[in-house]
Structure 1
Amino acid sequence: MSTPEHTSTPPVAKKVPTERTHHGDTFVDEYEWLRDKTNQEVIDYLEAQNLHTEAHTGQLAELSKTIFSEIKSRVKETDMSVPSRRGRYWYYSRTQEGKQYGIRCRCPISGEDDWTPPEIGDTVPGEEITLDTNVEAEGTDFFSLGAFSISDDGNWLVYGVDTVGDERYTLKFKDLRTGELLADEIPGTAGGAVWSLDAKHVFYPTVDDAWRPDTVWRHDIGAGTEDVKVFHEPDERYWVGIGTTHSDKYLMIGAGSKITSETYILDSADPTGEFRSITPRVEGIEYNVEHVILGGEDYFSFVHNELRDGAKLENFAVDIAPVSDPSARRPFIAHDPDVRIEDLDAFSDYLVLSYRAGGIPQLSIADLRTIEGFPTAADFRQVSFDQELYSVALAGNPEWVTPRLRIAYGSFLEPSELLELDVATGERTLLKRQPVLGGYDPADYVQSREWATAGDGTKIPLSVIRRKGVTGQAPLLLYGYGSYESSIDPAFSASRLSLLDRGVVVVFAHIRGGGELGRYWYENGKTLRKKNTFTDFVDAARYLIDTGWTTPDQMVAEGGSAGGLLMGAVANLAPELFHGILASVPFVDALNSILDPSLPLTVIEWDEWGDPLHDADVYEYMKSYTPYENVSAQPYPPILALASLHDTRVLFTEAAKWVARLQELSTSEHPILLKTEMSAGHGGVSGRYKQWEEASFELAWILRQTGAVTF
């Protein structure tokens, strides 16, 4: 199968040799000049690449429009979320047909015993709009809502606005009793903001010159005084965030690197007091904290991976300790090498354990009302489902005291469901199922688990989704990520149906570096084991070919961000296996970025990738795989790289440099394309219709490259 070509030739980037020398090695970077987006020549080059991409994808226009219509036709455009009770109100959001963004709303509860949410419908009695983001977004090319927090008394709203895409928000304050905005306005904040219980103070984080959240401030509402710095983290490896325990009894500041964490607490009744460390940090040890009431006594729970008997508990365990003496910890839930404990949530009457077993996220619940004495791990009961592949998690439970718990359930085939669980009886009530219009029937599709074998014998799980009746060598999309212990969990996608219904098999490769199979799965795909991530993906692709699922002429690979690094590495390792590679905001100039501590996030990333600036072994290892520097004269498949000009996580220059080098060195006739969003950030364009348009373009490109649609 051949890819339709166009007479357009790519713009040729000029070469400006720039030498980089570390550990006795010199690399000559001819495209480093593309880093400066204030240089008009750089902007002109990006726009020329966009025109080149348009020329090569013009034939996709009608298909893109068709797919957009398909996505739109499946979505209930005017819709409402299930209201969640908090204090004196039910809170929910609405979408309206024709509007890009959601509308945040609330209505009053009828009384203290009112735990039945108002019906989902076109109108709700007593409805009050707390924030219409469509109004906020007027006149902007990009809009993102950051913090959104309402004070416990329901009178005040603080929210953050980003109109550029750089994830730096301006905090605004609204009096919900009058609808008026306060003169208070705080630019340049990171995401998140937390109210004090007395609704007189807001705590929020800001960033340093490397865009690392490093400082927490207290803002006194309407006081006209300068904000108070309540915490600063000087270690450049650590991020800082602010939150509360679920009970609202404590404010919490979390400081964490990729491998170490520390929590500072302050009694919510004393918002102008001093935060104190609950347990001092120890290099390589992570923990998170929750407030738990057991037998009428206050405790802290610790989900941690501390050393026990000389070994670190890689999959984590749970301890508890009296609030009066956090150092007096004792084991609560033991470490299990086959179960990755992720969190322990606390309510007045329940404890909920979130964990991962067999690659699947799970929940177990202890009903404290039925337990005599002190609870143990044996008191937790799993919330189970019949599907082979599914996801389950807590969802929408803001109240500490609640008669029932809400959980979210979904799979690759089943639209997400919000369920209400009566813990005592086990009865589940469906509150809402994600509407999919157009007669969608999950029974028309199949999801299954396959296992590929890596070169070292490791079994790699694959999630395979297809329409019934699609067998043999079929068009196939292989997606991967494999970094930061992030897992690709089963979830429904309405847009994915446009691939499945055209006979494309969609496969998710759960490669090392992710978290699907526990902490060891992550540890064996990072730092000096990072190449396992790339070879796992290649071995997964070969498995799909060898077992007859597809052929190289029908397979497209896709990944974004750190998954874009995966795409770049795979393009160098095994270009012959794919007829297309889609790389979104790809981290393809990894070594150059991780060598520069002045760049956003670099120092923080050393725990993930290693520190090539100070460690010659790490430098040599990263240089052997970093995609940009390993582009060579070989026949690359068609490649589509997507970037965003204002992305602060993966700078646009990485994709720009990579594509310039690919276009220079590739020995094939296949087009190497770069599409840069000029008004967007790491997550791409904003607004649901714009996002559907972008998704439609990408899906059309995939369909062409897999041969599912011919031109």
Structure 2
Amino acid sequence: MTNDIPCGSRIYAPENSTRTRSPGSERESPGQLTTTVYYTTVDAAWRPDTVWRYRLGSGESSERVYHEADDRFWLAVGRTRSNAYLLIAAGSSITSEVRYAHAADPTAQFSVVLPRRDGVEYSVEHAVIAGQDRFLILHNDGAVNFTLVEAPVEDPARQRTLIAHRDDVRLDAVDALAGHLVVSYRREALPRVQLWPIGPDGNYGEPEEISFDSELMSAGLGPNPNWDSPKLRVGAGSFVTPVRIYDIDLVTGERTLLKEQPVLGGYRREDYVERRDWAYGDDGTRIPVSIVHRADIEFPAPALIYGYGAYEICEDPRFSIARLSLLDRGMVFVVAHVRGGGEMGRLWYENGKLLDKKNTFTDFIAVARHLVDTGLTSQQQLVALGGSAGGLLMGAVANMAPDLFAGILAQVPFVDPLTTILDPSLPLTVTEWDEWGNPLNDSDVYAYVKSYSPYENVTAQKYPAILAMTSLNDTRVYYVEPAKWVAALRHAKTDGNSVLLKTQMHAGHGGISGRYERWKETAFQYGWLLATADSDRYGGGQGNDLDGAAPA
């Protein structure tokens, strides 16, 4: 529901929709007040499937602009930074299609930029080159790590390549300003940003990467809503560098530090060490490993290894105040950038999904063994952490290499994937088939998922201590998955290590709400991790009487 504030009336979504998902409003033209509202509604599976248009003050009902019939595709609506065009983006996990219309026309008809083709993804940005409207199209058609082209708005198929495909660089995004392009990309498992000036004659100048003073600095764009802004806002941070916000003068290149994340308690960056290491998978693949610890630590030390490895999500270096609690207690924090994520490009993702999903698990095990073999930690001091799809990873490695870990913490873990993706009535199942495969139609997929599903592969063997966290109101990974997994582990295991299940009764997939309640939850988890990895100092984590108190 939307309120029309000047006249006090209420505008309701159409009766055949469920509820408004992501409202968006557009300018009629630069400088004018908004008189048209575009918004999406969702279907019974909470998929944004329809875009509507409402003319404020018209007294008319909302007009349906576009409906997406394919259950795999989700819709979003917005405008270009220039305010010149409206865009409706339809996307599945592997395919996309964009429609555009002139923002100045409140009755505009939308046209397709490029017709959808299975497996081809693209995004669209508007730029003005030598006074001419151009679409900047980032696509993966014949370019697995994406390529950037420009094309006339009136003929998007007539393209000119601006940035060719590279095997070692993954293009993530392009943003257009009045006189510059900003390209976001990945190289060597780190996000980077490049400035590319546009001359008045339409020629592009020399691109320049925005560099920082740390090997593991993650850089990305901040909010830059203004088309003709003389400055670019960027953010940067690392495991030991609190988040910094800069403005960069687009003419002089001068960098102004606007803000740095405050850290209390006398934090000094030089007291900590961050570094990049590389492990080798079973097939010889180099796996990036990020490591952070106090500079005065002695090895082998208690270590926490974290992994995710799904949906092309990148686990980039970032600062965490809470994590200092672990580091200052002598623990090493490690991120295993396993296949299934996107850190090393699109093929890194492709080689960790569908019928190659087991690479995610074997990569994680390889990194864990590397940490032990190099003397950073020992098997008795190593604990693992992962959530959601990373919880699937936790369940898989618990079955495959239980002797490698002292403990495993699985947050809202996706540990019964076969049952879930066999049920298309669940909110995410149909869209998830592009990630895991469709076992309803493919017997090979059924057999493969069953062969690694944590629940299906619990066996009579010794397991490390396990803490599973779930939420009663989680609609992404239902609480029954970790509950039945824990029950199976307790029934089958042959050791005396504890297997604990903690269920939040008033939380969802993202965990409990409220700042202080989240701190308490983090303290509970950190207490268990420390007690399990360093039982001589923080013993008690394996007892069934763990009450959630933070360690002293």
- What is the TM-score when the length of structure 1 is the normalising length? 0.72
Does residue 572 (structure 1) correspond to residue 399 (structure 2)? The answer is yes
- After superposing on structure 2, the runs of 4+ consecutive aligned residues of structure 1 that deviate more than 6 Å are none
- 2:125 maps to 290
- Deviations 1:33-84 (CA, angstroms, capped at 9, x unpaired): xxxxxxxxxxxxxxxxxxxxxxxxxxxxxxxxxxxxxxxxxxxxxxxxxxxx
Aligned with 1:532: secondary structure? helix
The percentage of aligned residue pairs carrying the same residue is 52
Does residue 257 (structure 1) correspond to residue 92 (structure 2)? The answer is yes
- Deviations 1:188-231 (CA, angstroms, capped at 9, x unpaired): 54642210214223222222222222122224446665433221
- Deviations 1:544-580 (CA, angstroms, capped at 9, x unpaired): 1111111121111001111011011111111111111
Does residue 215 (structure 1) correspond to residue 45 (structure 2)? The answer is no
- Deviations 1:655-708 (CA, angstroms, capped at 9, x unpaired): 222122222222222221222222222111122222222111111111111115
Q: 2:148 aligns with which of 291, 302, 318?
A: 318
**8 A contact 1:320–1:332 mirrored in 2:** yes
Does residue 536 (structure 1) correspond to residue 356 (structure 2)? The answer is no
Select between 418-427 and 217-226 the one with higher mean Cα deviation: 217-226
- Residue 429 of structure 2 aligns to which amino acid in structure 1? T
- 1:143 maps to none
In 2, the alpha carbon distance for the partners of 1:228 and 1:581 equals: 52
In 2, the alpha carbon distance for the partners of 1:403 and 1:318 equals: 24
Select between 499-508 and 214-223 the one with higher mean Cα deviation: 214-223
Seen in structure 2, the aligned counterparts of structure 1 residues 636 and 173 have a Cα distance that, compared at 3 Å, is farther
- 2:325 maps to 498
- 1:204 maps to 39
- 1:373 maps to 201
- Residue 375 of structure 1 aligns to which amino acid in structure 2? N
**8 A contact 1:172–1:181 mirrored in 2:** no
- 1:519 maps to 346
**8 A contact 1:557–1:581 mirrored in 2:** yes
Aligned with 1:265: secondary structure? strand
**8 A contact 1:641–1:655 mirrored in 2:** yes
- 2:188 maps to 358
Does residue 273 (structure 1) correspond to residue 108 (structure 2)? The answer is yes
In 2, the alpha carbon distance for the partners of 1:174 and 1:485 equals: 40
- 1:633 maps to 460
Q: Counterparts of 1:94-173 in structure 2 under 5 Å?
A: 171-173=1-3
- 1:237 maps to 72
- Residue 189 of structure 2 aligns to which amino acid in structure 1? G
Q: 2:384 aligns with which of 547, 551, 557?
A: 557
- 1:194 maps to 24
Does residue 401 (structure 1) correspond to residue 236 (structure 2)? The answer is no
**8 A contact 2:386–2:411 mirrored in 1:** yes
- 1:77 maps to none
- 2:167 maps to 337
Does residue 709 (structure 1) correspond to residue 538 (structure 2)? The answer is yes
- Residue 25 of structure 2 aligns to which amino acid in structure 1? W
Residue 357 of structure 1, CA deviation: 0.8
**8 A contact 2:388–2:413 mirrored in 1:** yes
- Residue 438 of structure 1 aligns to which amino acid in structure 2? G
Residue 536 of structure 1, CA deviation: 0.4
Residue 600 of structure 1, CA deviation: 1.1
**8 A contact 2:311–2:341 mirrored in 1:** yes
Seen in structure 2, the aligned counterparts of structure 1 residues 182 and 465 have a Cα distance that, compared at 3 Å, is farther
**8 A contact 1:510–1:516 mirrored in 2:** yes
Residue 640 of structure 1, CA deviation: 1.2
In 2, the alpha carbon distance for the partners of 1:245 and 1:659 equals: 48
Seen in structure 2, the aligned counterparts of structure 1 residues 188 and 382 have a Cα distance that, compared at 3 Å, is same
- Deviations 1:216-249 (CA, angstroms, capped at 9, x unpaired): 2224446665433221111111111112111121
RMSD: 1.8
In 1, the alpha carbon distance for the partners of 2:65 and 2:308 equals: 37
**8 A contact 1:392–1:410 mirrored in 2:** yes
- Residue 538 of structure 2 aligns to which amino acid in structure 1? V
In 2, the alpha carbon distance for the partners of 1:374 and 1:399 equals: 21
Q: Structure 2: 5+ residue runs without aligned partners? A: 29-33, 541-552
Instruction: Tell me the number of residue pairs that the alignment of Structure 1 and Structure 2 aligns.
Output: 530
**8 A contact 1:367–1:424 mirrored in 2:** no
- 1:145 maps to none
- Deviations 1:567-605 (CA, angstroms, capped at 9, x unpaired): 111111111111111111111111111111111111111
Does residue 425 (structure 1) correspond to residue 252 (structure 2)? The answer is yes
Aligned with 2:322: secondary structure? coil
- Deviations 1:372-407 (CA, angstroms, capped at 9, x unpaired): 63334x621111112111111110211111011111
Does residue 681 (structure 1) correspond to residue 516 (structure 2)? The answer is no
Seen in structure 2, the aligned counterparts of structure 1 residues 225 and 374 have a Cα distance that, compared at 3 Å, is closer
Seen in structure 2, the aligned counterparts of structure 1 residues 372 and 206 have a Cα distance that, compared at 3 Å, is closer
- Residue 241 of structure 2 aligns to which amino acid in structure 1? E
**8 A contact 2:21–2:42 mirrored in 1:** no
In 1, the alpha carbon distance for the partners of 2:420 and 2:39 equals: 28
Aligned with 2:82: secondary structure? coil
Seen in structure 2, the aligned counterparts of structure 1 residues 685 and 202 have a Cα distance that, compared at 3 Å, is farther
- Residue 155 of structure 2 aligns to which amino acid in structure 1? D
- 1:382 maps to 209
- 1:672 maps to 499
Q: 2:63 aligns with which of 228, 231, 234?
A: 228
Residue 415 of structure 1, CA deviation: 0.3
Residue 185 of structure 1, CA deviation: 5.7
- Deviations 1:489-532 (CA, angstroms, capped at 9, x unpaired): 11100000000000000000000111111111111111111000
Residue 350 of structure 1, CA deviation: 1.3
**8 A contact 2:216–2:274 mirrored in 1:** yes
Residue 710 of structure 1, CA deviation: 3.0
Does residue 452 (structure 1) correspond to residue 279 (structure 2)? The answer is yes
- 2:307 maps to 480
- What is the TM-score when the length of structure 2 is the normalising length? 0.93
- Residue 356 of structure 2 aligns to which amino acid in structure 1? R
In 2, the alpha carbon distance for the partners of 1:640 and 1:172 equals: 44
Seen in structure 2, the aligned counterparts of structure 1 residues 296 and 569 have a Cα distance that, compared at 3 Å, is same
Seen in structure 2, the aligned counterparts of structure 1 residues 173 and 675 have a Cα distance that, compared at 3 Å, is farther
In 2, the alpha carbon distance for the partners of 1:190 and 1:545 equals: 51
Q: Structure 1: 5+ residue runs without aligned partners? A: 1-170, 307-311
Aligned with 2:165: secondary structure? coil
Seen in structure 2, the aligned counterparts of structure 1 residues 272 and 692 have a Cα distance that, compared at 3 Å, is farther
Seen in structure 2, the aligned counterparts of structure 1 residues 472 and 569 have a Cα distance that, compared at 3 Å, is same
- 1:104 maps to none
Residue 419 of structure 1, CA deviation: 0.3
Aligned with 1:630: secondary structure? coil
- Deviations 1:75-108 (CA, angstroms, capped at 9, x unpaired): xxxxxxxxxxxxxxxxxxxxxxxxxxxxxxxxxx
**8 A contact 1:256–1:262 mirrored in 2:** yes
In 1, the alpha carbon distance for the partners of 2:22 and 2:417 equals: 28
In 2, the alpha carbon distance for the partners of 1:203 and 1:646 equals: 30
Aligned with 1:379: secondary structure? coil
Seen in structure 2, the aligned counterparts of structure 1 residues 360 and 277 have a Cα distance that, compared at 3 Å, is same
Aligned with 1:448: secondary structure? strand
In 2, the alpha carbon distance for the partners of 1:197 and 1:676 equals: 46
Aligned with 1:299: secondary structure? strand
